[in-house]
Amino acid sequence: MMMKMRKISKIIKSKPTLEGAGVHLNRAFGSAEAPKLDPFLLLDDFRSSNPNHYLKGFPWHPHRGIETITYMLEGSVEHGDSMGNKGVIGAGDVQWMTAGSGIIHQEMPHGDKAGYMGGFQLWANLPAAHKMMHPRYQEVKRSQIPEISPVQGVKIKIICGEVGGIKGPVHDIVTEPEYLDVTLANDAVYTHPVKPDHTVLAYIIDGRGYFDNDSYLLSNGELVWY
CA 223, CA 140: separation in Å to the nearest integer? 25
Number of separate domains in the chain: 1
**88 in a structural domain:** yes
**107 in a structural domain:** yes
**103 in a structural domain:** yes
**3 in a structural domain:** no
pLDDT digit string, tens, across residues 174-196: 999 999 999 999 999 999 999 99
30: domain CATH number?
2.60.120.10
Q: Which domain holds residue 184?
A: 10-225
Torsions phi, psi for 129 (to 5 deg)? -70, -15
pLDDT digit string, tens, across residues 13-45: 999 999 999 999 999 999 999 999 999 999 999
Residues 46 and 119 sit within 8 Å (Cβ to Cβ): yes
**143 in a structural domain:** yes
**1 in a structural domain:** no
Residue ranges for the chain with pLDDT beneath 70: 1-2
Cα–Cα distance list, 180 to 7, 17, 163 (Å): 20, 25, 9
**45 in a structural domain:** yes
For Cα atoms 115, 202, 134, give the angle at the middle one, nearest 5 degrees. 80
